[in-house]
Amino acid sequence: MAHEVLHPCIFLDLFVQVRQTSRTKFCFLFFLVSFGINRASFTNTSDDQLLYLGFTGANLITDDTTVVTSNGLLELTNGTVNRKGHAFYPSPLHFRKSHNYKVHSFSVSFVFAIRSSYPRMSLHGLAFVVSPSTNFSNALANQYLGFLNSQNKGKASNYILAIEFDTVLNIEFEDIDNNHVGIDINDLHSVKSHSAGYYDDRNSSFQNMSLISGDPMQAWVDYNGEDKKISVTMAPIKMAKPTRPLISMSYDLSTVLKEPSYIGFSASTGAADSRHYILGWSFGMNNLAPMININKLPKLPYQGSNPRSKLLAITLPIASATFVILLCSVFIIIVRRRLRYAELKEDWEVEFGPHRFSYKDLFHATHGFDNKHLLGAGGFGKVYKGVLPSSKLEVAVKRVSHESRQGMKEFVAEVVSIGRIRHRNIVQLLGYCRRKGELLLVYDYMKNGSLDIYLYNDELKPTLSWDQRFRIIKGIASGLFYLHDKWEKVVIHRDIKASNVLLDTEMNGRLGDFGLARLYDHGTDLQTTHVVGTMGYLAPELVCTGKASPLTDVFAFGAFLLEVTCGQRPVKHSSQDNPGVLVDWVLEHWQKGLLTNTVDARLQGDYNIDEACSVLKLGLLCSHPFTNMRPNMQQVMQYLDGDVPLPELTHMDMSFNIVSLMQDEGFNPYTLSYPPSGTSIGTISNISGGR
Ligand SMILES: Nc1ncnc2c1ncn2[C@@H]1O[C@H](COP(=O)(O)OP(=O)(O)OP(=O)(O)O)[C@@H](O)[C@H]1O
Ligand SMILES: *[C@@H]1O[C@H](CO)[C@@H](O)[C@H](O)[C@H]1NC(C)=O
Ligand SMILES: *[C@@H]1O[C@H](CO)[C@@H](O)[C@H](O)[C@H]1NC(C)=O
CB 74 within 8 A of CB 66: yes
User: How confident is the model over 638-647, as a mean pLDDT?
Assistant: 90
pLDDT, position 40: 33
Q: How far apart are CA 333 and CA 328, in angstroms?
A: 9
Ligand 1 pocket, mutate which of 426, 443, 499, 674 (most atoms under 8 A from CB): 499
Whether ligand 1 lies within 6 angstroms of the CB of 487 is answered as no
Residue identifier of the C-alpha nearest atom 2 of ligand 3? 505
- pLDDT for 535 equals 67
Distance 469 CA to ligand 3 centre (A): 15
Protein residue closest via CA to atom 14 of ligand 3 = 448
Q: What is the mean pLDDT of residues 90-105?
A: 89
* Cβ atoms of 188 and 159 closer than 8 Å: no
Residue of 158, 168, 161, 157 lying closest to 183 (CA atoms)? 161
Among the bound ligands, name the one nearest to the CA of residue 460: 3
Which of 27-41, 152-166, 213-227, 292-306 is the least confident region? 27-41
User: What's the 505 CA to ligand 3 centre distance in angstroms?
Assistant: 6
Which residue has its alpha carbon closest to ligand 3 atom 4?
505
Return the half-sphere exposure (C-beta side, CA atoms, 13 A cut-off) of residue 169.
6
Decide if pLDDT at 578 tops 70: no
Average pLDDT of the residues in 643-651: 85
| pLDDT range class, residue 532, cuts 50, 70, 90 | low
Percent of the chain with pLDDT over 70: 81
- The model's confidence at residue 543, banded by pLDDT at 50, 70 and 90, is confident
Count of H helices and E strands in the chain?
12, 28
Residue 689: pLDDT band (50, 70, 90) is: very low
Is the model more confident about 614 or about 420? Answer: 614
Ligand of minimum distance to the alpha carbon of 378: 1
Decide which of 162 and 681 is more confident: 162
Query: Mean pLDDT throughout 519-531?
Result: 38
Q: Mind spelling out the 3-state secondary structure of 182-202?
A: EEEECCCCCCEEEECEEECCC
Give the model's confidence band at 202: pLDDT under 50 very low, under 70 low, under 90 confident, else very high. Answer: very high
Q: How many Å apart are CA 575 and CA 632, to the nearest integer?
A: 34
pLDDT at res. 384: 94
More reliable by pLDDT, 34 or 437: 437
Closest-CA residue to 267 (of 86, 115, 121, 120): 86
Question: Does the pLDDT value for residue 524 go beyond 70?
Answer: no
- Predicted pLDDT at 211: 94
Q: How far is the CA of 9 from the centre of ligand 2 (A)?
A: 28
Q: What region, left, alpha or beta, does residue 381 occupy, with left being phi > 0 and alpha being psi -120 to 50 degrees?
A: left
Q: Where are the beta strands (DSSP E) in 287-417?
A: 374-377, 381-387, 394-401
Mean pLDDT of 225-235: 95
Q: Report the distance separating Cα 134 and Cα 122, nearest Å.
A: 25
Return the residue whose CA atom lies nearest to atom 8 of ligand 3.
Answer: 505
| d(C-alpha 572, C-alpha 582), whole Å | 8
Tell me if 78 CB under 6 Å of ligand 2.
yes
Tell me: the pLDDT tens digits for 128-154? 999 999 999 999 887 889 999 988 888
User: Which residue would you say has higher pLDDT here, 3 or 220?
Assistant: 220
Q: Is 676's pLDDT higher than 50? A: no
Measure the CA–CA gap between 246 and 366, rounded to whole angstroms: 84
**For residue range 356-389, what is the model confidence (pLDDT) as tens digits?**
888 888 999 999 889 999 988 876 778 999 999 8
Strands 374-377 vs 125-131: parallel, antiparallel or unpaired = unpaired
Mean pLDDT of 53-70: 92
Place 533 in a pLDDT band, splitting at 50, 70 and 90.
low
Percent of the chain scoring above 90 in pLDDT: 47
Ligand 1 centroid–CA 353 distance in Å is 26
Domains of the chain, earliest start first:
46-296 (2.60.120.200), 347-444 (3.30.200.20), 451-684 (1.10.510.10)
Is 398 annotated among the ligand-binding residues?
yes
Q: From the CA of 148, how far away is ligand 2's center (Å)?
A: 22
Lowest mean pLDDT among 130-134, 226-230, 343-347, 473-477: 343-347
As a dihedral over the C-alpha atoms of residue 598, residue 599, residue 605, residue 606, rounded to 10 degrees, the angle is -170
Per-residue pLDDT, 313? 77
CA-proximal residue: ligand 3, atom 12 (nearest) = 448
Confidence of residue 351 (pLDDT cuts 50, 70, 90): low
Give the residue whose CA is nearest to atom 11 of ligand 3.
Answer: 448
327 vs 410, which has greater pLDDT?
327
pLDDT for res 573: 58
Band of pLDDT at residue 98, cut at 50, 70 and 90: confident
pLDDT at position 688 over 60: no
User: Which residues are 131's β-sheet partners?
Assistant: 262
- The residue whose C-alpha atom lies closest to atom 12 belonging to ligand 2 is 78
Query: Closest ligand 1 atom to the C-alpha of 534?
Result: 26
Q: Is the pLDDT of residue 422 over 90?
A: no
pLDDT-derived band at 439, boundaries 50, 70, 90: confident
From CA 373, how far away is CA 366, in angstroms rounded?
A: 7
User: In which band, very low, low, confident or very high, does the pLDDT at 17 lie, cut at 50, 70 and 90?
Assistant: very low
Considering Cα of 312, then 316, then 318, then 319, what sign does the dihedral take? positive
Residue of 512 and 281 predicted with greater confidence: 281
Residue 613 has pLDDT above 60, yes or no: yes
- Which ligand 2 atom sits nearest the alpha carbon of residue 78? 1
Q: Which residues pair with 431 in a beta bridge?
A: 442
Average pLDDT of the residues in 13-21:
35
Residue 170 Cβ < 6 Å to ligand 2:
no
Task: Fill in the amino acid letter for 509.
Answer: G
CA of 671 from ligand 1 middle (Å) equals 25
Provide the sign of the torsion angle of the four alpha carbons 41, 42, 43, 46, taken in this order. Answer: positive
Among the bound ligands, the one closest to the CA of 461: 3
Q: Is the CB of 396 under 6 A from ligand 1?
A: yes
**What is the pLDDT, as a whole number, of residue 215?**
92
Which SS3 state, helix, strand or coil, does residue 108 take?
strand
The residue whose CB lies within 8 Å of the most ligand 3 atoms, and thus the one to mutate among 505, 506, 508, is: 505
Atom of ligand 2 nearest to the CA of 79: 13
| Mean predicted lDDT score pLDDT of the chain | 81
Output the CA 344–ligand 1 centroid distance in Å.
Answer: 25
> With 90 as the cut, is the pLDDT of residue 687 above it?
no
- Does the C-beta of 446 come closer than 6 Å to ligand 1? yes
Q: Is the CB of 80 under 6 A from ligand 2?
A: yes
* Banded model confidence at residue 240, pLDDT cuts 50, 70, 90: very high
Rounded Cα distance, 220 and 224, in Å:
13
Sign (positive/negative) of CA torsion 186, 192, 198, 202? negative
Q: How far is the CA of 594 from the centre of ligand 3 (A)?
A: 35
**Mean pLDDT, residues 428-454:** 87
Q: Which atom of ligand 1 is nearest to the CA of 427?
A: 1
Q: Report residue 70's pLDDT band, with 50, 70 and 90 as the boundaries.
A: very high
Model confidence band, residue 37 (pLDDT cutoffs 50, 70, 90): very low
Identify which of 385, 444, 446, 447 to mutate to test ligand 3's pocket (most ligand atoms within 8 A of the CB): 447
Active site residue 643: no
Beta pairing partners, 51: 282
- Angle (nearest 5°) at CA 543 between 541 and 547: 65
pLDDT confidence of residue 342: 74
Catalytically annotated residue among 64, 175, 184, 495: 495
Which among 450, 495, 674 is the best mutation to test ligand 1's pocket, defined by most ligand atoms within 8 Å of the CB? 450
